[in-house]
Amino acid sequence: MPHGGAIKDTYDDGTNSLHGKQPPNAPLRASKGSHYEGGHRVPFIARWPGHIAKESVSGSLMGHMDALASFAALTNQKLEASAGPDSYNVLLAWLGQKLPQPSHDHLVLQTNNPSPLALREGDWMLIEKGAGKKNAAAGPNPELSGYELYNLATDIGETDNLAAKETARAKAMIERLKSIRENGRSRK
């Protein structure tokens, strides 16, 4: 889901020399095509008079692939098990209603390639480094060397890789990501 703002590699609108002074995605790290927040975090804006309250805000985790399940729910259509393998119904979040629990507790992120992937669970982001790329901060856990882990609640700029400090969380998220990849879907 590479949706973040593009920087320098697309076209020169006359502002390229200013990007170092005021990065377009700041305080988010990176830009379009990246697994970091600057590569995919964008606002979702919906307007539906009489159904969505003006200026309502939801902090629900969602991605563009959730539109399929959400529009199916809106139109009372049954989504077949094979359709939208990563799509969750987030209609209530769109409508600004309080949810008893999140529409989904995770989000799998990918760029234009099927690998590497990233996994968002609540405020936590696990990022695969990709083939041959290692993380020197993994410490005594070599199985974590290909991953980065960030707590977005305290580090929205993804500057403090916590993989070596939060090993149990990192390992659990790695296993979940592997399971999702093996199953070919994140929705059960």
Give the residue-averaged pLDDT of 90-119: 84
pLDDT tens-digit series, residues 66-88: 999 999 999 999 989 899 999 99
* Dist. CA 70–CA 55, nearest whole Å: 21
Matching residue, tokens 């309250």:
53
Q: Would you tell me how many other CB atoms lie within 10 Å of the CB of residue 76? A: 6
List, in sequence order, the alpha helices (H) in the chain.
66-74, 91-94, 167-183
The residue ranges of every structural domain in the chain are 105-188
Name the band, by pLDDT with cuts 50, 70 and 90, for residue 25. confident
Phi, psi of 45 (to 5 degrees): -115, 125
CATH for 105-188? 3.30.1120.10
The verdict on whether omega for the bond into residue 2 sits within 30 degrees of 0, i.e. cis, is no
Strand order through the sheet with 124-128? 106-110, 117-121, 124-128, 147-151
66/34: higher pLDDT: 66
1/39: higher pLDDT: 39
pLDDT tens-digit series, residues 87-98: 999 999 999 887
pLDDT tens-digit series, residues 53-65: 988 888 888 888 9
- Cα–Cα distances (Å) from 4 to 12, 33, 71, in that order, read 17, 7, 24
